[in-house]
Chain A
Amino acid sequence: MTEKTLIDARGSFCPGPLMELIAQLKSAEVGDEFEVLSSDKGSANDIPEWVEKAGHELVESREDKGVWHITVKKKR
């Protein structure tokens, strides 16, 4: 069974939502999903760019009232 874990990084500039995601992905299982909540608009670009470079999957990226919801699946 895979789970979707919420990473609430709203209001964070440092170490930043992406770093939170990277740290959590390292200790996760392949197939696990993470939904990052971020109010930092840079994350909407950063996270998909890293996900592609690192070979994971971007499941969804959407904005809702100034908060980005970015869902990522660990692929390797």
Chain B
Amino acid sequence: MRILIIGGGMGGTILANNLARRLSSEIKAGKVNLTMLSASEKHFYQPGLLYLAVGQMMPDELYREQVSLLEPGIAFHVDPVTEFHLDENQVKTQSDRTYDYDVLVIATGSRVNMEEIPGLAENAEMFYTEEGALKMLKSLREFEGGRVVVCVGVPHKCPMAPLEITFMMHDFFKERGILDKVELYYTYPIGRIHSLENVAKWATPEFDQLGIKYETFFNMKEVDGDNKILRSEEGAEVNYDLLVTIPAHKGMEVVESQGLGKDGWVPIDRLRLNMEGRDNVFAIGDTTNLPISKAGSTAHFEAEALGENIASMVKIGQPVRDYDGKVFCFIEAGKDRATYASFDYLNPPDPKPPTRAVHWFKVAYNQLYWASARGLL
């Protein structure tokens, strides 16, 4: 059986390592062939970007050689997919090669989509790329006071990022001794300050206590950079001195242009994770159309469920479990306090008051991640 994984990010890597271990004897015996195609020889730990933007991590801490994270038995090629031929069980790549498969897993992640909001890319700080996070750090260090507006597009990856960057900027300006000259103004698309009701219930009094202002039902429409005004779809206007955005995302261009799913989101079954109408094509991580968090932990738990199922299909001809919608997110509540949200399809999260211990656990996880990607944690 030929198993082909597209994407060497969080989901693809955890799945490949999981399968390499479960199917090691089948791989050795030549009965299973496990191949990964990715767009980069580096593995990128994206959650570190949040810390990069406030000077708490350095870029070299966010990257590892992809091959150093993979179990033996996985054939790895940096050769991005350019065409999907699902009826023929084939993909074509940038180097003009054709890869045949029996089982295909798409884990190509997501990308920021700033173009649809006029003026946003030119005028807002954005920490979703290394370049953006470093530019934002410079702006935060040079900022002398005024109104900092946070604006959020949907869907976006890392559900906690809007709250976290706001709390972290609060503490950043406090440490710089200019908090009294700064007004933090947070906007959010729906009628509360976070999509998860219990997270909003927890965060609202935290915002009130820190003097962070907020406006809800605020969906970005356009940015007037000359006059420093952000306008909303709902007809509101807000002036800013520094604009920080968590932009809307799309799936990868190739997924969209090859017609696999609208906006690059692959439509899948929420329990089995197979692409609608296909039994041998699966998607995990950010690139699915599931209306749940686009987070590394989602990719991780999906990869574990799918790894078990693909291995059991090889061994006994059928899957053994469903993905239960599990997600776990840390929530940084400043520079030295954090809490977390853990939830699934049936059970909503219930964040507890933030503590230093949870923050230090997250700091440790930023290093432990490399063991997690290898499947050791």
Q: Give min CB distance, A13 to chain B, whole Å.
A: 5
> Interface readout for B231-262 with A: 1 if CB under 8 Å, 0 if not?
00111000000000000100000000000000
Judged by a CB distance under 8 angstroms, whether A22 is at the interface is yes
Whether the pair B291, A17 counts as a contact (CB closer than 8 A) is yes
Binary flags per residue of A5-27, CB closer than 8 Å to B gives 1, else 0:
00001011111111110110011
Among the 9-residue stretches B42-50, B73-81, B176-184, B343-351, the one with 4 or more Cβ atoms under 8 Å from chain A is B343-351
Tell me whether A19 and B217 are in contact (CB under 8 A): no
Query: In the complex, how many residue pairs between chain A and chain B have their CB atoms under 8 Å apart?
Result: 72
CB distance from B326 to the nearest CB of A (A): 12
By beta carbon, the residue of chain B nearest A18 is: B190
The answer to whether the Cβ of A49 comes within 8 Å of any Cβ in the partner chain is: yes
Chain A interface size range: 20 to 34
User: Inside 8 A of B233's CB, which chain A residues have their CB?
Assistant: 26, 54
Given contacts A15-B293, A19-B155, contact A49 B270 (CB under 8 A): no
CB within 8 Å of B: which of A1-49?
Answer: 9, 11-20, 22-23, 26-27, 42, 46, 49
B199 and chain A: residue at smallest CB distance: A14
0/1 string, B320-344, CB within 8 A of A gives 1: 0000010100000000000000010
Cβ contact within 8 Å between B190 and A50: yes
- Residues in A whose Cβ lies below 8 Å from that of B346: 11
Give the CA-CA distance A55 to B217 in the complex, in Å. Answer: 12
Number of interface residues of B (CB under 8 A): 29
Give the residue name and chain of the B residue nearest to A19 (CB): B154
Q: Would you give the 0/1 interface string for B291-335, flagging 1 where the beta carbon is closer than 8 Å to chain A? A: 111000000000000000000000000000000010100000000
Q: In the bound complex, how far is the Cα of B157 from the Cα of A55, in angstroms?
A: 28
Cβ 8 A contact of A14, one of B116, B263, B327? B327
Task: Give the Cβ gap from A11 to chain B, nearest Cβ, in Å.
Answer: 4
Residue in contact with B293 in the complex, picked from A11, A14, A55, CB distance below 8 Å = A14
CA distance A26 to B234 in the complex (A): 12
B291 touches A9 (CB 8 A): yes
Chain A residues whose C-beta falls within 8 Å of the C-beta of B155 in the assembled complex: 15, 19, 23
Q: Is A65 an interface residue (CB 8 A)?
A: no
Contact code string A34-76 (vs B, CB < 8 Å = 1, else 0):
0000000010001001100111000000000000000000000
Cross-chain contact B196 with A14 (CB below 8 angstroms): yes
Residues of chain B with a CB closer than 8 A to A23's CB: 154-155, 248
- How far apart sit A15 and B270, CA to CA, in the bound complex (Å)? 15
- The answer to whether A19 and B327 touch across the interface, beta carbons within 8 angstroms, is no
Which of A15, A42, A53, A55 is within 8 Å of B291, CB to CB? A15
**A16 lies within 8 A of B195 (CB):** yes
Chain B interfacial positions (CB closer than 8 Å to A): 116, 154-155, 159, 189-191, 195-197, 217, 219, 233-235, 248, 263, 270, 290-293, 325, 327, 343, 345-346, 348-349
Q: Which residues of A are in contact with B by a Cβ distance under 8 Å?
A: 9, 11-20, 22-23, 26-27, 42, 46, 49-50, 53-55
18 A-B residue pairs with CB within 8 Å: A9-B291, A12-B292, A13-B196, A13-B197, A14-B159, A14-B291, A14-B327, A14-B343, A17-B291, A18-B190, A23-B155, A26-B219, A50-B191, A50-B217, A53-B217, A53-B234, A54-B217, A54-B233
Closest 9 CB pairs of A and B: A12-B291, A16-B195, A11-B345, A15-B195, A19-B154, A14-B196, A9-B291, A53-B217, A14-B195
